[in-house]
Amino acid sequence: MKGGNRLRILFVSTTVGALGSGLGGGVELTLRNIGLALKSRGHEITVLAPAESISSGLNIVQIPGELQPTAQTQGRDAPIVLPPNSVLGNLWQTAYQQQHNYDVLLNFAYDWLPFYLTPFFDRPIAHLVSMGSLTDAMDQIIGQTLEQFPASIGVHSKAQAETFPFGERCRVLGNGLDLSLYQFRAEADRALGWVGRIAPEKGIEDAIEAAQQTGLPLKIWGAMPDKDYWRSICERHPNAVFSYEGFLSTEQLQRSLGQCRGLLMTPKWVEAFGNVAIEALACGVPVIAYRRGGPAEIVQDGRTGWLVEPDSVSGLVDAIQKLDKIDRQICRLSAEQNYSMQAMGERVEGWLLGVVGSGG
């Protein structure tokens, strides 16, 4: 960038886990990719994140404190929660102290405090909302922020935006990947794949049941924050052929995922986007997803995978049996045409320049 268009941007991370731990889900990959994309466009990026955070290629300032509970585990009437020595509070205290070193702040935390604090900062704050409507308190504070700072709220998909009463006023930004990190595989092994945080809202049991009915093994990758939940899954499916392969780096994941016949996405909630879908496509792996949330906007039914009615295991089974009809080369082409990191960087840059220009 030239002249006044070069921004000094302070990222403030998700606070449910350290970057690199997998506990932050897709937000971790999104933060890294946006940071690298904006750096490549000449902007200066600093990231405030919980202690022990790592994110290759970015300047990380680690802030200690207790992690926040995840919003998806709470009911609609859940109260505002701030643990003692909260990392959320510590991050935003640091952000307040350092704000004048930056042109704009970008918040990645789906939590009440950053939105509430926005009017008290001298520098504009942009908020990238990572989930759909989950609690009344969050809906209220995001809507309140949008009223006062109309340019400040970004989301990942139309489906995510539609969960909010003010969704039509949010900026839909999509997502993107560094496609050079994902190798295309023209041939596949027998196994199916499933990637994500192993938690009830991700619906992994549906993928296990569908794989069992088709007689195909299922490989599972992702963070495991609740080992008791995983044990219960194993006990409920003693005869299914599935294996937990751990939480892997991008390099390791794309190598293993690329060998799969297809990726199953079985969320029980509205996914804001679904980074793993475009990671799979980038490797040439077709995606079978419930017609719910962001994945339904990514998968081209019959072309890059199959969309299945939500919560239909029989639908998953039917789709698995049609995987051979999908051209893996077209899957890769779809990722290149729609989800490059360069295109994402351009979209986010335009949004942030608008936030700076409007003062929020």
- Residue-level pLDDT at 75: 85
Q: Closest Cα to residue 71, out of 115, 102, 11?
A: 115
Rounded Cα distance between 178 and 301, Å, is 24
Could you give phi then psi for residue 159, rounded to 5 degrees?
-60, -40
Q: Give the C-alpha distances (Å, rounded to integers) separating 206 from 23, 83, 335.
A: 22, 34, 26
The two three-digit tokens of residue 143, written as one number: 């809507």
pLDDT tens digits for the chain (360 residues)? 434 589 999 999 999 999 999 999 899 999 999 999 999 999 999 999 999 999 999 999 999 999 999 887 788 999 999 999 999 999 999 999 999 999 999 999 999 999 999 999 999 999 999 999 999 999 999 999 999 999 999 999 999 999 999 999 999 999 999 999 999 999 999 999 999 999 999 999 999 999 999 999 999 999 998 899 999 999 999 999 999 999 999 999 999 999 999 999 999 989 999 999 999 999 999 999 999 999 999 999 999 999 999 999 999 999 999 999 999 999 999 999 999 999 999 999 999 999 999 877
The distance in angstroms from the start CA to the end CA of the chain is: 21
- Residue-level pLDDT at 2: 39
Each residue's pLDDT tens digit, 51-66: 999 999 999 999 999 9
Q: What's the pTM?
A: 0.91
What are the beta bridge partners of residue 50? 63
